[in-house]
Amino acid sequence: MQWTAREYTRAEAATLAGMPEGSLDSLIHHARDVATLFSEKRKGRRFFSLRDIAVLRVAHEFVHGGRDWLVAIGIAYDRLEHPPPPDALIVAPAVIRRGCGPPIITTTPPDAFDRSTIVVPVGRIVADIIRRAA
């Protein structure tokens, strides 16, 4: 199992991400302009790596938290260069405004929040994808 080897079909990617194929298709369609960040087309078929699947699944969480799809893809892509530890979290301000800072990846959430925050259990999500792929 290699993190960046694009060897999984669309159906396998949907299964590994824990979502229906139609949902995966919808995610891909909404981000088709940046599809090279999370997939590769070969002979008309789309292939994914474990990283790609994790990027799509984590971005899906950020979209449900109110982020724009392209912003969500960027957040996930930038923070998933390598598999995170199983207890890793991505902590991001719910509203983007000056001085809030970028989303961070951490294993220890802040003791207190001073603003609305999105917390995504990225380590648990990636561990589940890797477990399903084994």
Chain segment 91-109, per-residue pLDDT in tens = 988 776 665 667 878 887 7
Confidence of residue 15 (pLDDT cuts 50, 70, 90): very high
10-17 and 21-30 helices cross at what angle (nearest 10)? 100
pTM, to two decimals: 0.87
Instruction: Please state, in angstroms and rounded to a whole number, the distance separating the CA atoms of residues 67 and 95.
Output: 9
The pair of structure tokens assigned to 129 is 């994808």
Alpha carbon distance 131, 134 (integer Å): 5
pLDDT at position 104 is 79
